Amino acid sequence: MISFIDGPAQNLTLSLARAPRFLRVVHGAKWDALDQIGDEPASSETLYAYECATPADQIGSCFWDGRDPKTGRRTGGCSRIAEYRYVPNQPTDAQMRDQTHWEMWCEQQVKEVQS
């Protein structure tokens, strides 16, 4: 499970299949995150940038197995386990809404840390 330690999503927990270094969290009718490649925000959603606070070698996984209570069909999946912290210097809304600009912003953050 992905948990958020501060910012607008503080105390929120989401079940996500990926735990990228930088994550766009969206809030509209509900909270969600754009963790999958190709995920796009709805125009009505507000976006927030978060950075993984868990060291890469300590990000875990949990696997679940169960039955759908309505259909009785078996179901299951995998969720990543990590904590995220709010990025204090948020990218612009335009940067977060466009996949290419988001990727460029993420790459720039990594370069700044390395230099």
Domain containing residue 42: 2-114
pLDDT for 115 beyond 80: no
Cα distances from 76 to residues 13, 61, 108, 109, 113, in angstroms, run: 18, 13, 37, 35, 38
pLDDT for 103 beyond 90: yes
pLDDT for 8 beyond 80: yes
Q: What is the average per-residue pLDDT within 44-65?
A: 95
Question: Which residues are within 8 A (CB) of 39 and not within 5 positions of it... i.e. 6 or more apart?
Answer: 24
CA distance 48 to 25: 5
pTM over 0.85: yes
Q: What is the average per-residue pLDDT within 60-70?
A: 90
Count up the domains in the chain and report the number: 1
